[in-house]
Amino acid sequence: MTEPGLTRLVECVPNVSEGRRPEVVEEIVAAFAAPGVLVLDHSSDPDHHRTVITLMGQGPALVEGAVAGARACARLIDLNHHRGVHPRMGALDVLPFIPFGAETRLRGGDDPDLDCADLAERAGRRIAAEVGVPVYLYGAAARHPGWTALPAVRGRGFETLRAAPDRVPDFGGPGLHPTAGATAAGAREVLVAYNVELADADLALARRIASAVRERDGGLPAVRAMGVPLKHRGRGGPGDRRGGPPEDRVQVSMNLLDWRATPPAAAYAAVAALAGENGARVEASEIVGLAPAGALDGVDPADLRLRGFSRDMLLETRLLQALTTSEETR
């Protein structure tokens, strides 16, 4: 990819409702990898039963990849048999387009290929028409004032929307797809998905801490948070080599919508302080997907007990690696 092409890059981060079947995840990721699309990362969590995929490319290629990925999700995921701690309304649950290159923007401009809101609309229209999954537009792409925030669009999730649909999607519908639900396609700025895992705590405490730190309830700016149980983690759980009896863990799961306003270090400090006041402790924290390098500037990952951290978890590092590999294979 030439240097001028870098200024036209758009990021896309599909959130898929599958985190327990690696072979299904791999097939879905491969579907998103249309020609011209770089797959920078995919991260699965069995408790959330969710996979976050990080894509980079120019707008038209990402739209093609989104339609192919949506088709694979609808074919391989049945939400009637899906249970996880993360809210969801679709097999391909969320499809955000995010400005990255210098020429790309959240909304507006003369070139629709550089307009993330326009890309979300194009992808949403095609997913509804070609895959049969209705699409709601959110973020900067929202056509309804009340649908700017993703939680307002998703509501209480697949089961509730299927039983009593209270809003007509922007494309397709009016009812949900019987197994794949609906997709929220939108345009937003880059965010950091950041989780803090607690030990010696119960779910009630995790939920109280989540309420205390999220912006909606008077907490940290630009933070969404929820407290969730982690049944697949803890002593003796999958991937834990320490042995011994199972140990229940809980998590404060956060989206840092503006990492400049509330970086991971500030979110960690707030959660750790509240946990300590209640006799609990931080076991570890994690970044889901990739984070911009600036979000961790001047931070020692050890101070955040970041699990498995390396420079490869930074968006810019992974993009450089992907571009280098792409050039070498030409």
Torsion, Cα 150 289 13 127, to 10 degrees, reads -90
Q: What pLDDT is stored for residue 79 in this prediction?
A: 98
CA distance 192 to 111: 28
pLDDT digits (tens, 9 = 90+) for 192-215: 999 999 999 999 999 999 999 999
Active-site residue, selected from the candidate residues 81, 82, 86, 177? 86
CA distance 127 to 68: 9
* Displacement of CA 24 from its chain's centroid (Å): 18
pLDDT digits (tens, 9 = 90+) for 284-314: 999 999 999 999 999 999 999 999 999 999 9
Residue 1 has pLDDT above 60, yes or no: no
Q: What pLDDT is stored for residue 234 in this prediction?
A: 52
Q: What pLDDT is stored for residue 244 in this prediction?
A: 38
Which among 238, 327, 219, 307 has a CA at the least distance from the CA of 1? Answer: 327
Q: What pLDDT is stored for residue 330 in this prediction?
A: 65
86 assigned to active site = yes
- Containing 285, the helix (H) or strand (E) segment is strand 281-288
**Residues whose CB is less than 8 angstroms from the CB of residue 37 and which lie 6 or more positions away in sequence, other chains included:** 55, 56, 57, 61, 62, 64, 65
- What are the residue ranges of helices labelled H in the chain? 3-6, 22-32, 59-76, 116-126, 150-154, 158-163, 203-213, 264-277, 315-328
292, two tokens: 């911009």
CA-to-CA separations, 265 to 31, 65, 261, 269, 295, in angstroms, rounded: 35, 34, 11, 6, 9
CA triple 118-120-124, angle to 5 deg: 120
% of the chain beyond a pLDDT of 70 = 93
Residue 242 has pLDDT above 60, yes or no: no
Segment 33-56 shows an average pLDDT of 97
Residue 231 has pLDDT above 80, yes or no: yes
Confidence (pTM): 0.92
